[in-house]
């Protein structure tokens, strides 16, 4: 069985890793020219005077308040009893979110108390080279830290559950590919994957590791220079890095000259039809749906909970804090995914 415990990553580097991996999780934080005009959901009224925000945040990017977090149950074994009953002997579809990767040092921006963010939209990304420069500069800094993250006990428990024949498949909202590295095989990353670069014109795919050589040759020494700055301080809106990206050089598709984007789904962009269909099939073939480590804040995940509920399939949720799917769930376990999934895998 997978061991139970926190990530093996050294705690001392967790903060800088969190800062540097930020760019890979689709969130870019750029101030629009005129926040109030750019977005009707301006938070101007919520801040004390003198702290008027430059950021404009969509409602789904506001994390629950810190008070929403609650301690894990003292007796987790007893707390998961209803979940064991719900899932025993059933074909299980699993949906995971950022919460399952936090023990691997990958930050979850929607966990209770997280600072609000304004992610770069796909429209911004394709509209101007300055946005792409900024995005790729931060990606150049952050991607290798995501590549260095290791699967944790929660990822391994789900791989073990698949090996034991309990799962119809695994749908994940994460782009970190940690499920695949833990051994999950029938896996649909509905928001894409960080480890590939796609041409928006001809669909050519390049491994991110290979593309790193291209960016490095265009920007020799850049990563080392900015890393020193980034380690000093990166505000939630990444001003330090933002100032440093104006001279960053980006590459277009070597084959057709098209725009290159990580193979991840940006805000304002839809998951591919193929991925949506494969994910839907995982739910349709299952008796029950298990959600682990997601607040279901974005429709990309919530739609599968609704799909299951509509088909009268029961839903179990493991998550610290409330979720948008709570009223559709039969069982809720407010606890961390590493420990809970490990116990669960042992009892099914």
Q: Give 5 or 257: the residue with its C-beta nearer to Zn ion.
A: 257
In whole angstroms, how close is the CB of 253 to Zn ion at the nearest point?
A: 3
Q: Give 211 or 267: the residue with its C-beta nearer to Zn ion.
A: 211
Q: Does residue 199 have a known ligand-binding role? A: yes
Q: Give 42 or 201: the residue with its C-beta nearer to Zn ion.
A: 201
Q: Does residue 253 have a known ligand-binding role? A: yes
Helix, strand, coil in percent for the chain, rounding step 5: 45, 15, 45
Q: Which residues bind Zn ion (CB under 5 A)?
A: 199, 201-202, 204, 253, 255-256, 258
In whole angstroms, how close is the CB of 203 to Zn ion at the nearest point?
A: 7
Q: Give 190 or 253: the residue with its C-beta nearer to Zn ion.
A: 253
In whole angstroms, how close is the CB of 316 to Zn ion at the nearest point?
A: 43
Helices (H) and strands (E) in the chain, counts: 14, 9
122 assigned to active site: no
What dihedral do alpha carbons 248, 253, 257, 260 form, nearest 10°?
Answer: -60
In whole angstroms, how close is the CB of 204 to Zn ion at the nearest point?
A: 5
Read off the tokens for 249: 């050089």
How many CA atoms, within 13 angstroms, populate the side-chain half-sphere of residue 284? Answer: 6
Q: Exposure of 252 by Cβ count < 10 A (0-12 exposed, 13-18 middle, 19+ buried)? A: middle
Q: Give 249 or 255: the residue with its C-beta nearer to Zn ion.
A: 255
In whole angstroms, how close is the CB of 206 to Zn ion at the nearest point?
A: 10
Q: Which of 348, 308, 346, 300 is nearest to 330 (CA)?
A: 308
Read off the tokens for 289: 């749906």
Read off the tokens for 31: 């101030």
> Looking at 140, 145, 191, 334, which residue is catalytic?
191
Instruction: Count the neighbouring beta carbons within 10 Å of the beta carbon of residue 72.
Output: 14
Signed CA dihedral, 150, 154, 158, 159: sign only: positive
Q: Are strands 314-318 and 288-292 parallel, antiparallel or unpaired?
A: parallel
Binding site, by residue number, is 199, 202, 253, 256
* Residues acting as catalytic residues: 191
Task: Show binding-site residues for Zn(2+).
Answer: 199, 202, 253, 256
């Amino acid at each position: 069985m997978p061991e139970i415990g926190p990530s093996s990553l050294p705690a001392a580097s967790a903060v800088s890793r969190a800062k540097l991996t930020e760019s890979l999780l689709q969130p870019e934080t750029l101030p629009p020219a005129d926040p109030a005009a750019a977005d009707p959901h301006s938070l101007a009224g919520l801040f004390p005077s003198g702290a008027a925000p430059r950021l404009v945040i969509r409602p789904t990017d506001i994390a629950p308040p810190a008070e929403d977090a609650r301690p894990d149950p003292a007796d987790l074994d007893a707390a998961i009893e209803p979940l064991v009953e719900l899932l025993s002997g059933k074909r299980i579809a699993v949906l995971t979110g950022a919460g399952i990767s936090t023990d691997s040092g990958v930050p979850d921006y929607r966990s209770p108390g997280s600072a609000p963010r304004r992610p770069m939209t796909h429209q911004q990304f394709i509209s101007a080279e300055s946005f792409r420069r900024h995005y790729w500069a931060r990606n150049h800094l952050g991607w290798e830290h995501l590549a260095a993250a290791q699967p944790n006990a929660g990822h391994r428990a789900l791989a073990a559950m698949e090996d034991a024949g309990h799962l119809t498949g695994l749908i994940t909202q994460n782009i970190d590919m940690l499920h695949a590295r833990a051994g999950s095989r029938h896996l649909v990353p509905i928001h894409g994957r960080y480890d590939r670069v796609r041409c928006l014109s001809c669909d050519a795919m390049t491994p991110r590791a290979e593309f790193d050589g291209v960016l490095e040759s265009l920007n020799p020494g850049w990563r080392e220079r900015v890393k020193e700055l980034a380690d000093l301080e990166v505000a939630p809106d990444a001003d330090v890095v933002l100032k440093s990206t104006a001279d960053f050089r980006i590459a277009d598709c070597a084959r057709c000259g098209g725009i290159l984007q990580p193979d991840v789904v940006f805000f304002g962009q839809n998951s591919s039809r193929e991925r949506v269909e494969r994910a839907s099939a995982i739910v349709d073939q299952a008796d029950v749906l298990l959600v682990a480590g997601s607040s279901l804040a974005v429709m990309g995940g919530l739609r599968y909970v609704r799909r299951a509920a509509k088909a009268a399939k029961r839903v179990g949720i493991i998550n610290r804090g409330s979720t948008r799917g709570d009223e559709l769930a039969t069982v809720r376990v407010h606890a961390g995914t590493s420990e809970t999934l490990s116990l669960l895998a042992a009892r099914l």
